[in-house]
Structure 1
Amino acid sequence: MKPVVALLGRPNVGKSTLFNRITRARKALVDDFPGVTRDRHYEDAIWNDVEFTVIDTGGFLSTDDDYFASQIKTQLTIAAEQADVLIFIMDGRAGMSPYDRELSDFLRRMSKPVFYLINKIENYKQHDELLEFYSLGIDKFYKVSAEHGVGVGDFLDDLVEALPEYKKMEEDEDTLIKIAIVGRPNVGKSSLANRLFGEQRLVVNEKAGTTRDAIELKCEHKGRQFILVDTAGIRRKGKVTRKIEKFSILKSLKSLDECDVALILIDSDEGITDQDITIAGYAEDRGCGAVFLLNKWDLLDKERKSVKKYMEDLRYKSKFLSYAPAITISALTGQRCHKILDEVVKIYKEYCHRINTGVLNRIIEDAVYRTEPSLHKGKRLKFFYATQVASKPPSFVCFVNFPKAVHFSYKRYLLNQLRQMIPLEKTPIKLFFREKTGRIKFTGNSKEDERIFQKKKKHNTRRQKERTEQSKRKRQRDRDDS
């Protein structure tokens, strides 16, 4: 494993800001008020050609002043135990705090290298106000500004020298399946992530909005590698007022852009709501695979526990995701959770599928022969040929004489034929129509354009001569026969 560095400190000292600065990515949410970060957030970084992993943690509070204080402290302790080097961050503007002294004593007992940083130092005038920090009994402090990057480079130079040696091993990114767990607030996303991960990795609470950041977890199942992304709950736009929640939702939507398969969680105890269908629409728009998970199935009584009724209601409201399978689960008890990753593998296999161009054209040709498209201004629509242009999801282009005249119902017919014949039953499919023209495509380079023009001209001249010779031979045969 790569060397691990943990960022520790009380709330609102700038841990997430420094995390983003070191990793050179804006993956951790940052705001002025304390308590934004609750879960452990991992990200790789590199400095002076040395690779290492950085852990962002929640703010340390010894008392239960905060609703999540005890759970955050547990997460912080685990991060400190996993890390090879600890970074203790303090606030140079606010000064010393009793929590700083308590956390300092805690880190001394860890028997690991500790770097002491005083953050939010933007000018030399502040240096005279830092004398109280020396009461901790520390000889060396790094005075930095994570927001502006002041002093961070010198600190990282010393940090990478203290890291243990690491032998880089190649990882095959193509074998990783990225899964985003999305849904409304308090439907059990973090509980499901913990269940699939195999341990209590994320903070879980009955209070809605517990998860604010998009947290990535790596896990393995039957020899396959997965990345689980636990996201913040997506509420209706009209109910979102706080800036931090807006950023959380944006990160959730970005996770849908980057994932291969989305697990759309629905609270079966509350039923299928309009917001559940809206979230499913976000997944459909982004072209990722999808699985509906009806969570909290164990809370339903016998009268409401009708799978057929739920599935009919789900399929009626989400007709646009008719290809997405649905499973009734309980993240709390683990009921049927073992089926989820197996289903994801099946979807991913279809999601990456590629088909031979000849086979694809025979499918389209047969579909057009059995059901011809409607006329356009008295002219017949002609499908010349088709080809697959991409996977993830499978995307196809059909070249026709009038692409804008293809009715959406006929497009749906062709999509259904592709699903049946390839087969692609559990993945989204993209189908585009383009006009087939014989026009010469110019590159903008005069010499290259001239070469293409002369080549096209010779080709047309040769074909014209062949047609003329064929016509002469046909007339001669006709005369001989007469």
Structure 2
Amino acid sequence: MHRIAILGRPNVGKSTLFNRLVGRKLAIVDDTPGVTRDRKEAEATIGGVPVLLADTAGLEEAPPDTIPGRMRASSEAALRASDLVLFVVDARAGITPADRAFAAWLRRAGLPVVLIANKAEGRLGAQAAMEAYELGLGDPLPVSAEHGDGLGGLHDEIRDRLTAGGREPKEAERPLRLAIIGRPNAGKSTLVNTLLGEERMITGPEPGLTRDAVAMEFRDAEGPVRLVDTAGMRRKARISHRLEQMSVAASLASLKEAEIVVLVVDALLGMDEQDLRIARLAEREGRALVIAFNKWDAVEDRAAARRGLEDVLTASLAQSKGVSVVPLSAATGRGVEKLMPAVREAHALWNRRVPTGELNRWFEAMKERHPPPLVEGKRIKLRYATMPKARPPTIAVFGTRAEMLPEDYRRYLVNSFRESFAMPGVPIRLNLRGTDNPYAEEE
């Protein structure tokens, strides 16, 4: 089993992250620095890979005979025994001298490190996380352990690091991880039974029959699929029972474990705010989305139903423009054969990388068509773009004052990238990295 250590200076949110990754509250969390004094370990499954996770005491500069000194010795021991280190910094507080010292120590140790910028809520938080590039430990992953944001990307990164080097099955034989999510009684369990060709899930008219996130595997025409049928998600105001609160937590966890999310929508009711909330959650976690428009056989005015869905998607789900919609009937099986091809197509786009040369030809054309605007009377000089990762497609743009680029120009770049490279329905990330030298482009 792979060992992972969570390290960082005190009070950056290591224990909160530990609890999130383990899926239950094992480490004590408090605003007082240094609450965690002993190493806590727990088994967890991250990105489909079983791991032993160690939450360590904060790294402290202190003599070894003091409590902080012994805590640091314990943390160093955890580091040496680990296959992967999660180094946590606080995006809100910025990079401190202690962070820089420990980053240098980690680089000298030569172990694989994932750099996590915690407390990065919202777009401003994600932008603040970019400051951590200076530590020289690669791309920082912006997350909010407290709110659960960005954990899907962290699951992917951990899995990719641990399975590199051929220790795990080849990509072709690695199961596609699929979450089936939706409101209670939208027909999720019936859809699972139809996909599997057997009665694996209890179904019935009562909402909330499925209590657990149930994992199972099957094969489609292209290979293995790991399916998680989740307990129905409802608005918090309607969650009265402790059991159902746990079900919603399991649904959120399965969404983070998944690569593709199938959102089951009742075609007779149409898409409501709860469905949109689930779709936005999938997008926020960087998951590709496919909508299963269920109970299609019972819809009388199909043109009106399609129009209604398209209107809602256009108005409220701009980030996943062009999302694939598959009308089907889970109960009769009609149209279900079109679901997995749509899922596989979304998965291929979600994994797609654009070569740097091709990307920069597009980037130059976009700048020529609409040059970046002046901000506070100063010119923003965008130099070049790269695509550091897929899953989801992520563009990094470098230039002087790039981080000051207005929101409408960011949207312009993302939308034109989606259209130019034919990537409908998948979330696209845009990271902006300014140059440190204030004289680099002064004219």
Tell whether the structures are fold-level matches, with TM greater than 0.5. Answer: yes
Q: Percent identity?
A: 32
| Alignment partner of 1:172 is 2:141 | no
The question of whether the paired residues in 2 share the 8 Å contact of 1:212 and 1:245 is answered with: yes
CA deviation profile, 1:354-405 (whole Å, cap 9, x unmatched): 1211221221111011111111222221111111111110111101211332
Q: Kindly provide the amino acid, as one letter, of the partner of residue 347 in structure 1.
A: A
- Provide closer, same or farther for how the CA distance between residues 314 and 388 of structure 1 changes in structure 2, counting only shifts above 3 A: closer
- Provide closer, same or farther for how the CA distance between residues 410 and 305 of structure 1 changes in structure 2, counting only shifts above 3 A: closer
- Provide closer, same or farther for how the CA distance between residues 348 and 382 of structure 1 changes in structure 2, counting only shifts above 3 A: same
Q: Kindly provide the amino acid, as one letter, of the partner of residue 281 in structure 1.
A: R
SS in 1 for 2:177: strand
Q: Kindly provide the amino acid, as one letter, of the partner of residue 252 in structure 1.
A: S
In the TM superposition, what are the counterparts of 1:208-287 in structure 2 within 5 Å?
A: 208-287=207-286
Give, in whole Å, the separation in 2 of the partners of 1:430 and 1:237: 29
Give, in whole Å, the separation in 2 of the partners of 1:426 and 1:363: 20
In the TM superposition, what are the counterparts of 1:57-206 in structure 2 within 5 Å?
A: 171-172=169-170, 175-206=174-205
Give, in whole Å, the separation in 1 of the partners of 2:388 and 2:350: 14
Q: Kindly provide the amino acid, as one letter, of the partner of residue 188 in structure 1.
A: G
Q: Which residue of 2 aligns with 1:402?
A: 401
- Provide closer, same or farther for how the CA distance between residues 317 and 416 of structure 1 changes in structure 2, counting only shifts above 3 A: closer
Give, in whole Å, the separation in 2 of the partners of 1:44 and 1:288: 18
Give, in whole Å, the separation in 1 of the partners of 2:347 and 2:324: 13
Q: Kindly provide the amino acid, as one letter, of the partner of residue 299 in structure 2.
A: L
Q: After TM superposition, give the deviation of residue 264 of structure 1 in Å.
A: 0.7
Give, in whole Å, the separation in 1 of the partners of 2:301 and 2:354: 46
When normalised by structure 1's length, the TM-score is 0.54
Q: Which residue of 2 aligns with 1:468?
A: none
Q: After TM superposition, give the deviation of residue 304 of structure 1 in Å.
A: 7.7
Q: After TM superposition, give the deviation of residue 307 of structure 1 in Å.
A: 2.5
Instruction: Report the aligned-residue RMSD.
Output: 2.5
When normalised by structure 2's length, the TM-score is 0.59
Give, in whole Å, the separation in 2 of the partners of 1:274 and 1:302: 22
Q: Kindly provide the amino acid, as one letter, of the partner of residue 202 in structure 1.
A: M
Q: Kindly provide the amino acid, as one letter, of the partner of residue 170 in structure 2.
A: D
SS in 1 for 2:179: strand
SS in 1 for 2:232: coil
- Provide closer, same or farther for how the CA distance between residues 315 and 214 of structure 1 changes in structure 2, counting only shifts above 3 A: same
The question of whether the paired residues in 2 share the 8 Å contact of 1:363 and 1:417 is answered with: no
Q: Which residue of 1 aligns with 2:97?
A: none
Q: Which residue of 1 aligns with 2:341?
A: 342
In the TM superposition, what are the counterparts of 1:310-325 in structure 2 within 5 Å?
A: 310-325=309-324
CA deviation profile, 1:402-428 (whole Å, cap 9, x unmatched): 133211111111112211222322321
SS in 2 for 1:301: coil
SS in 2 for 1:290: strand
Give, in whole Å, the separation in 1 of the partners of 2:266 and 2:169: 37
Q: After TM superposition, give the deviation of residue 303 of structure 1 in Å.
A: 7.7
The question of whether the paired residues in 2 share the 8 Å contact of 1:323 and 1:428 is answered with: no
Q: Kindly provide the amino acid, as one letter, of the partner of residue 210 in structure 1.
A: L
- Provide closer, same or farther for how the CA distance between residues 26 and 272 of structure 1 changes in structure 2, counting only shifts above 3 A: closer
Give, in whole Å, the separation in 1 of the partners of 2:434 and 2:49: 46
Q: Kindly provide the amino acid, as one letter, of the partner of residue 315 in structure 2.
A: Y
CA deviation profile, 1:124-161 (whole Å, cap 9, x unmatched): xxxxxxxxxxxxxxxxxxxxxxxxxxxxxxxxxxxxxx
SS in 2 for 1:426: coil
Q: Which structure 1 residue ranges, 5 or more long, are not aligned?
A: 1-24, 28-42, 47-168, 440-482
SS in 2 for 1:272: coil
Q: Which residue of 1 aligns with 2:379?
A: 380
- Provide closer, same or farther for how the CA distance between residues 391 and 304 of structure 1 changes in structure 2, counting only shifts above 3 A: closer
Give, in whole Å, the separation in 2 of the partners of 1:286 and 1:339: 25
The structure with more radius of gyration: 1
Q: Which residue of 2 aligns with 1:127?
A: none
- Provide closer, same or farther for how the CA distance between residues 44 and 378 of structure 1 changes in structure 2, counting only shifts above 3 A: closer
Give, in whole Å, the separation in 2 of the partners of 1:422 and 1:185: 36
Give, in whole Å, the separation in 2 of the partners of 1:234 and 1:358: 43
Q: Kindly provide the amino acid, as one letter, of the partner of residue 172 in structure 1.
A: K
Q: After TM superposition, give the deviation of residue 438 of structure 1 in Å.
A: 5.2
- Provide closer, same or farther for how the CA distance between residues 45 and 428 of structure 1 changes in structure 2, counting only shifts above 3 A: closer
